[in-house]
Amino acid sequence: FKELGREAIGEPDPSVEIGCAPIEGRIKAAFAQFDEVSRAKADPDQLEVLKKAIALEKESYETYDELFKKSEGSTKEIFDKIRREEYEHLVALENMLMYLSRTGMWFDIEESKRWNWMNT
């Protein structure tokens, strides 16, 4: 790939490659700091708001799931897309709650979704 790249655009500019390393390090440090701040500021009120949002998303998902089951044709396809979107919202909110609650399970659950062979 490097040879193809050199043929297409010539030799890479070493100053660009070197210049990216400090920026990447600063970005990683900023995100790590943001991570610590966001977790430290999670208070019970925020967690309650997330729990209420999760309940609303569950209700919304269940509504669209019922409509999906009762529909046919293109209407069924539309409700399927909407219910899938609601499910993604639900998963995102549940992940936030687990992460901010510091249960330590968020990473385990997300990792097991990607590494299914571990569950067999």
Q: Model pTM?
A: 0.53
Range of the domain at 11: 1-41
Check residue 20 and give its pLDDT: 47
Q: 57 and 23 share a domain?
A: no
Domains: count for the chain: 2
Q: 53 and 112 share a domain?
A: yes
End-to-end CA distance of the chain: 37
CA distance to 6, 8, 21, 41, 69, per residue, from 1 (Å) = 9, 10, 21, 46, 49
Check residue 16 and give its pLDDT: 46
> What's the CA gap between 106 and 96, in Å, rounded?
9
Check residue 114 and give its pLDDT: 62
Q: 37 and 55 share a domain?
A: no
Check residue 70 and give its pLDDT: 92
**Which ranges of the chain have pLDDT less than 70?**
1-43, 102-120
Q: 61 and 32 share a domain?
A: no
